[in-house]
Structures are given as structure tokens and as C-alpha cells.
A and B are shown apart, each in its own frame.
Chain A
């Protein structure tokens, strides 16, 4: 728990600057981020993020669990996009196992992932606007987010910690009427995005607070490891869904919004455009949803249906063995990266051939994005720090793990 650079010791006579503590309980730090600001009047000379307040040792816990028991832990890393975490982990383990996933499960994963992205971006938009002073947007965003959370509850039984994906497929068939509900949402959601944009995009106060603020060049962004909208807002055109497709993303058509300005406004426009692209992917997933099973045909790995478990001896034995002993995964290592709402989320899973992962490491997009804060804020004003923190869309659960 400390800062990017050493805390300065001020010499007497050189005391032009002072240290201002912001957080960890400050509402605009989106969790428990503590930031030390060295300021000269209103100008930020140095900014030192301080993290670790939410560290729970999830990576260590994973090593003591069976492979299938890790899935619920992954929800808790980035609690605004649980399904993206689920997806990244199960893809990594499936790659280790060499498991083939049925088409319907892959499309369900894409559908749920894009809904998760919408959910996450809505929280970001609401809180980011609120930080800067536009309170109304928050209420509008949470209205739509509520509907997304209700859909999550309908499909998985949980609003936030969904754990809907399984190694080998997805947990449950979607309930009756689920697709109609998503289609209805996809029908009116673009109008709602127009509503948010009417409140913000052309708003002179919003533009004054965001345009030209917290600028970052493409070179800086790449060198500091930024990814996702933080990187695309600086003009680097990369999206893992398009460039290194996974879970049949190659079958979907969508644009990758890129802005070259590199300021808070550019990152805002990227994410709002992503909201529209995501709803387009949701619509394509609904239209082209293939028929078939939602789980791979792998009896020793995928839990059998409840019905079969109660009527067939084989299925019961498999169920018992998976629950009590887990399943062995061939030795090897895999780095699987997906495009989370915040950037490149990667899971590095190492197997030693047993039923428990030898090592699970999560590459948190936010941890790298947080490092861009000094590049954005130093030389700017204190009030712009709040805009910059909002614009990189951090989730402290993911940073601290």
C-alpha cells in the first residue's frame, strides 16, 4: 500500500507545495482509492495513488479450490462486470482442457457479456457525470441498469454475483420469455442513450469540464499499459473482441469507437459509442441464437442434469466425483485475455495436472489504467483529478483483488 513514487520530504525553504490527502473514503474515488496530491496552490504537482485497501488474496484462495469452485470467486474481482470475469476464467480453463463449447453456449456468453458491458458502462456514466456535477444522468442510467440487473436475476438467480458461466458452457437454460425481454430492452435502449447524450454531449458545462482535460498521448498510454476505452480514447485502435476474437465474437459485426483527442471527453465519447455497439451485438446475438445444448458433452467435467442425476447411475457417479474430487486438468499454462468494459482483462492459469489450479493470476485492466493518472493529472487542476479518475473507470475490487 503505497504510492507510485516516494513521498517527498520537503526541505524547509522549499515549502511552496503541500500534500493533500484524498480518500480512501472520498465519494469520487469509486471505492477505496486513496490519492496523495502534492499541490502548488490549485495546481497538482504530483499525484500518488495508494491502493490495497480491498486486497482479499483471491489469487491465493484460488489455489486452494477446485477449478469449478473458482468461478464464484471471479465475480468478486470486478463486481461491475461479473460475467466478463467468469468468461475469461472459463475460457482459460477450457483452453487448458481442450474443450469444445457448443454454439448456443458461446452465443449466450456473448449476449450476457454485452449486457454486462452495458451494465458496467451505465454505472460508469452515472457516477462519472455525478462526480463532475451532473446529478440527473445518474438517475437515468440507474433506471436502465435496474432492468439489466433484473434480467441477470431472471437468468442466474442473482443480480450482481451471477456466476452464470460454467467450465464447459453456461449454468442454466434461459427462462421462458427471457429473449423477448432482452429484445424489448434492446428496442428502447438506443433512445435512452440519446437521452443521456442530450443531457451531456452538447452541454457547455460538460464540455468545459471534460474537453482538453487530463490529456494523454498514445505513446504514454501504450508505455503505461493502458487498455480499453482509456487507450482507444488516445487514438490506439485495438479491441480484443475484434482483433483476437474469442467465444465466436468473429461472427458479430460491430465498430470499435476510437477518438484521437486523448482527453476526458474522448474517453466519454468512446464509452457512449460502445453502449450503442453493444446493444447492436445483443440484437445480433438474439437474431442468430443457434439451437442446441448449452453445455459441452464432457461427462467428467460438466455436471449432469439434475433429472439424469436422479435416474441414471452413471450420471450420479459423475456428479459425486466432480463435487468431491473435482476434475484433473492437463498440465500446462494459458494466458487468456478478453475485452472487459475497462480494458484487457487477462487470466493466467497454470495447471500441474491436479484438480486444483496451481496458480491463477488476474491481469487487472484497472491496475494498469490507474498508472496513467500521473500522466493525465500532473500540471492540471485539483478539480480535474476527479474528472480524470472518473474517466479511467476504475473498480477497486479489481485493482486490489
Chain B
């Protein structure tokens, strides 16, 4: 398995249907793209994520109709600190694409994609629980795994592995 070096230049990646569709819809929605290890990542502007998901789900050239996963990566102490990661799968085309939204540590809020995929419900609640990202428009944003009275968000990098004593 030898992969060619990562491509980060948006100009070279314009041919990808998902990138092309998003640029066609709203050039400001794509903040960047990266093709690495045969995996496509598109950085989406935080204000556009819900519309971008709906677009990629319904567009006949993309048809990313299945939301595999929603998770988050904390790049503490760098800013913008959080990257919310969406993994989309096209069941008919057997393709995957990864969408990312960058959020700063001061106000980690992003639109929920539950209106697009009801299945995002648990995934977003898990991210809220473990990272403290708030999803605007989520039907029931409460802790999923940790006890309801827990303080802090364990998967943040400034949270010690052993917990607070």
C-alpha cells in the first residue's frame, strides 16, 4: 500500500463531484479540501453544514445518502480548536466522503444535521457529551454516555486521562 502524497490544493480537487457540487452551490461553503490515503476530506464552513449535507444527500451526482458517523477531534491548544467530522457514505456508488467543520473553543456551536438524517441524533449527543460541542436545532441535546450530573467533557485534550481527583 503506497499512497501518493496528500493533495491539499482546492484547484486540483475541483473535479470531485462533492466538491464541485458544493462550489457550484455556494463558493463560500468550502473552506478547503484534502485528498489523502484515498480518502476525500472537505472542510465546510460552519454556517453551511446542514444545507451542504442535504445537498450531498439528494444530488444525483453525489447521492451520499447514508450518514456513517459523526465525531470530533480536539486540537487543543491550537485554534480553531475543534473539528467536527462527518463520514458520509453513498450506498449506490459505494463511495465515502468526510466533511469537517472547524469550531473555535470559545463558542463550539454548529447546526445539527438531525433534520437531514434523524440517525445523527445519538452521534451528536455523544459528541456533545464527550466534547461539549453544542448542536443547534437538536431535538434533545443531553448527555448520552456519562451520568447526567457529570462535570466536564472527558474526551477534551485538557481533561486528564485519569479524570479529576
**A348–B72 CA distance with the chains assembled, in angstroms:** 10
**A359–B147 CA distance with the chains assembled, in angstroms:** 23
> Does B91 contact A368, Cβ atoms closer than 8 Å?
no
Q: Cβ of B106: which chain A residues have Cβ within 8 Å of it?
A: none
- Contacts A60-B154, A370-B122; is A335 near B96 (CB within 8 Å)? yes
Number of interface residues, chain A, beta carbon within 8 A = 49
Q: Tell me whether B45 is interfacial, beta carbon within 8 Å.
A: no
Q: Cβ of A359: which chain B residues have Cβ within 8 Å of it?
A: 73-74
Q: Tell me whether A61 is interfacial, beta carbon within 8 Å.
A: yes
Residue of A98, A224, A243 contacting most chain B CB atoms (<10 Å) = A224
Q: Tell me whether A358 is interfacial, beta carbon within 8 Å.
A: yes
**A359–B83 CA distance with the chains assembled, in angstroms:** 12
The smallest C-beta distance from A220 to any residue of chain B, in angstroms, reads: 8
Q: Tell me whether A371 is interfacial, beta carbon within 8 Å.
A: yes
How many A-B residue pairs have C-beta atoms within 8 angstroms? Tell me. 118
> Does A55 contact B146, Cβ atoms closer than 8 Å?
yes
Q: Tell me whether A346 is interfacial, beta carbon within 8 Å.
A: yes
> Does A350 contact B73, Cβ atoms closer than 8 Å?
yes
Q: Cβ of A334: which chain B residues have Cβ within 8 Å of it?
A: 37, 39
Q: Tell me whether A353 is interfacial, beta carbon within 8 Å.
A: no
> Does B122 contact A367, Cβ atoms closer than 8 Å?
yes
Q: Tell me whether B155 is interfacial, beta carbon within 8 Å.
A: yes
- Contacts A348-B87, A350-B73, A371-B119; is A95 near B1 (CB within 8 Å)? yes
Q: Tell me whether B98 is interfacial, beta carbon within 8 Å.
A: yes
Task: Report the stretch among A2-10, A148-156, A182-190, A269-277 that lies at the interface.
Answer: A2-10
Q: Cβ of B118: which chain A residues have Cβ within 8 Å of it?
A: 223-224, 371
The smallest C-beta distance from B126 to any residue of chain A, in angstroms, reads: 8
**A4–B119 CA distance with the chains assembled, in angstroms:** 11
Q: Tell me whether B165 is interfacial, beta carbon within 8 Å.
A: no
Please give me the residue from chain A that is nearest to B161 by CB atom: A64
Q: Cβ of B87: which chain A residues have Cβ within 8 Å of it?
A: 335, 346, 348, 363
Partner among A98, A226, A243, A335 whose Cβ is within 8 Å of the Cβ of B94: A243
Partner among B69, B145, B161 whose Cβ is within 8 Å of the Cβ of A1: B145
Q: Cβ of A370: which chain B residues have Cβ within 8 Å of it?
A: 122
> Does A2 contact B142, Cβ atoms closer than 8 Å?
yes
**A346–B66 CA distance with the chains assembled, in angstroms:** 14
Please give me the residue from chain A that is nearest to B157 by CB atom: A63
Q: Tell me whether A261 is interfacial, beta carbon within 8 Å.
A: no
Interface residues of chain A, those whose CB is within 8 Å of chain B, are 1-6, 51-52, 55, 57, 59-61, 63-64, 94-96, 98-100, 222-226, 236, 238, 243-244, 332-335, 337, 344, 346, 348, 350, 358-359, 361, 363, 367-368, 370-371, 400-401
Given contacts A52-B146, A98-B37, A224-B117, 18 further A-B contacts (CB under 8 A): A1-B145, A2-B142, A2-B144, A52-B143, A57-B154, A61-B161, A94-B1, A223-B117, A225-B68, A243-B94, A333-B36, A334-B39, A335-B69, A335-B98, A348-B69, A363-B69, A363-B71, A370-B122
4 shortest A-B CB distances, which residue pairs? Answer: A225-B119, A363-B69, A55-B145, A224-B119
